[in-house]
Chain A
Amino acid sequence: MKVEDVMNRKVKFIDPNASVLDAIERIIDERIRSLVVKPERKDDTFGVVAVRDIVFKCLAKGLDPKQVKVKEIASKPLIYVEKDMSIEHVLKLMERFNIARVFVKEGDEIIGVIALMDIMSAFIINRVK
């Protein structure tokens, strides 16, 4: 299996200065699990804010999600993979860095995301083919 066969093309972006509450709203309304945080400056990199970041870095600490900006809780840098990479290789990366998702980059553009959930589904589908 290749990254391209498994990746989810639904990648959603959020402004770094948006509030955590904005992020929560979008994650719930758009039925997604994470948002890519756009770079704030040219020399900045993309980040990611997932449910895990929202809960542990904001809500569990008793911070107000309206006051906290997503850039303050975003995880950086993103781990990227190529679309023709094998899933076995991606899994090794995820295990090594203890991460639940990697992003697929083509040139400068992020074209997809692979979460452990996508890999689990792909394995089941592959088994019955």
Chain B
Amino acid sequence: MMFRIFGGKLEREVIGEIERLIELLCSACQTFKKAVEQDNKGLMLSISEMEKEGDSIRRRISLKIYEGAFLPYLRPNIYKLVELIDEVLNLLEDAALSYIKIRSFIDDIREEIVEIADLNTKICRVFSKAFRCLFKGDDLREIALAIRIYERKVDELKHDLISKLIKRDVRFWEGKIVSDFLQYLVSISDLIEDAGDIIQMINVSMR
């Protein structure tokens, strides 16, 4: 069954492209974490390049699906999965660009930001494993659970950060950009959790 669904030339090409997209996402998360740790603007700007690369991979995938890759009933979920991964890359780029604007006044929360960035990197690795397991026909329940555990951890950190930031006396735009930055950063794990659910749906649809 797996071979029939994923074994064609176009299908294999799409799977290869999705794997490249996920690998790019993992690298982007890792780069973001390093850039915050080192407060490195150049490294942070390189995330925009990764996002552009992600866009072109997504376009290539959509063309291959248009050419007829996968059975029609699988196409919407496969494309939705690709869109979600691309959306995570967009969020990461938004977070990177916001970071550059606020880097001078987040020293007191840098540790927590690195912790969230680290969790985002870990959740991407687990997600990557979920995608690989999809083709082996493995049970994805535990992997999905691990993704949810990471997501809850990010959520807890978000609440800690908000409690810390609420005590600050800030100007409007400074506060707005910090708030947006945090929103981008914590939404990453939410979207990966959604993408994990889509993988489970694809898994179930193939049974």
Residues on A close to B: CB < 8 A? 10, 29-31, 121, 124-125, 127-129
Contacts and interface: CB of A to CB of B under 8 A. Distances in A.
Contacts of A121: 149
Nearest to B145: A124
Contact of A124 (B122, B146, B159, B160): B146
Contact of B146 (A29, A30, A128): A128
Interface of B: 122, 126, 129, 142-143, 145-146, 149-150, 156, 159-160, 163
26 contacts: A10-B160, A29-B163, A30-B159, A30-B160, A30-B163, A31-B156, A31-B159, A121-B149, A124-B142, A124-B145, A124-B146, A124-B149, A125-B122, A125-B126, A125-B146, A125-B149, A125-B150, A127-B142, A127-B146, A128-B126, A128-B129, A128-B142, A128-B143, A128-B146, A129-B126, A129-B129
Nearest to A125: B146
Given A31-B156, A128-B142, A129-B129, 13 more contacts: A30-B159, A30-B163, A31-B159, A124-B145, A124-B146, A124-B149, A125-B122, A125-B126, A125-B146, A125-B149, A127-B142, A128-B129, A128-B146
A128 B126 CA distance: 7
Nearest to B160: A10
A124 B163 CA distance: 29
Q: Is the interface of B mostly helix, strand, loop or mixed?
A: helix
B30 to A, nearest CB: 16
Contacts of B122: 125
Contacts of B146: 124-125, 127-128
A30 B122 CA distance: 25
Contacts of B160: 10, 30
Contacts of A127: 142, 146
Contacts of A30: 159-160, 163
B197 to A, nearest CB: 16
Contacts of B126: 125, 128-129
B127 to A, nearest CB: 11
- B126, B143, B146, B159: residue with the most chain A Cβ atoms closer than 10 Å: B146
B133 to A, nearest CB: 9
Contacts of B145: 124
